Amino acid sequence: MLYYKAWLESRMRFLAAATVLSLYCVTFIREARVNFPPVFEPRLPFTVYVWRGIYDGVDTLVFILFAAMLGLGGLERERELGSDGFTLALPATRSQLLVPRVAVAMIEMIALAAIPVVVVPLASASIGRSYPVEHAVRFALLFAVTGGLWVSAGVLSSVLLTGVYTSLVASVLTPAAFAAVAATSAARRHPAVSPFNVMNGARLPIVNRVTALANGPLPWASLCAFIAISAVLLGAAFAVSRRRDF
């Protein structure tokens, strides 16, 4: 019941995100009929064209913003809607109420990260081009792990901040804060510490510089570090939730 409730609360955000991401991927690939190869880069590989537009383009920004918003909701939002009394009357602790919301948000985020795995190869085939599924899967893994950061930050914002709009702004600004840190000179010397570099493999050995395919070693140290940071953010959210007096 609690998982279904969490799905009902977040389904519009998820479906909107899935629609936007799918349409963008399809539109971008279909436009390759006219725009590829570029006039000034007649020998550009199609895989590089895809990487620039899908994995290092607007799609990345849309995914980050929607992943952050998937973690919003919960008792703070219900209090403003007047339904928090019913939820708190359920035979469940605050942590038990938060677990389904986190689980559903993570599943939805992983589903969003997997959209290019299906859409990009199929859309490419529809215009007589090809994009390897296995490389799309590897990029999806990078998106999913880094997406866990944005979801966790959204959950913490929704628990920590009282206003719905305040938590929304905070969750959207979280990636901007990460970007500001990643832009510092110290961080730029170590590109693997930036979730934005890890998402698309930019400046990392995972991406082939000629084909832009993800055929290099995955940045396991960075991925494990991001998972640990996500766990810390979620742990903080659970700690705050248990102590919050609604």
- The per-residue pLDDT for range 214-242, each reduced to its tens digit, is 988 999 999 999 999 999 999 988 888 77
pLDDT at 6: 74
pLDDT at 58: 84
pLDDT band at 143 (very low <50, low <70, confident <90, very high): very high
- Give the structural domain span for 209: 2-243
pLDDT band at 89 (very low <50, low <70, confident <90, very high): very low
pLDDT band at 7 (very low <50, low <70, confident <90, very high): confident
Question: Mean pLDDT, the chain, as a whole number?
Answer: 82
Per-residue pLDDT for 206 more than 50?
yes
The predicted model gives 102-128 an average pLDDT of 94
Per-residue pLDDT for 14 more than 80?
yes
Preceding omega of 38 cis (within 30 degrees of 0): no
pLDDT at 86: 46
Report which of residues 207 and 179 the model is more confident about.
Answer: 207
The predicted model gives 5-18 an average pLDDT of 84
pTM for this one?
0.85
Of 6-15, 115-124, 203-212, the least confident = 6-15
Domains in the chain: how many in total? 1
Report d(CA 20, CA 15) in Å as an integer. 9
Per-residue pLDDT for 77 more than 60?
no
pLDDT at 92: 54
pLDDT at 243: 72
At 18-44, the pLDDT tens digits run 999 999 999 999 999 888 888 888 889
pLDDT at 108: 95
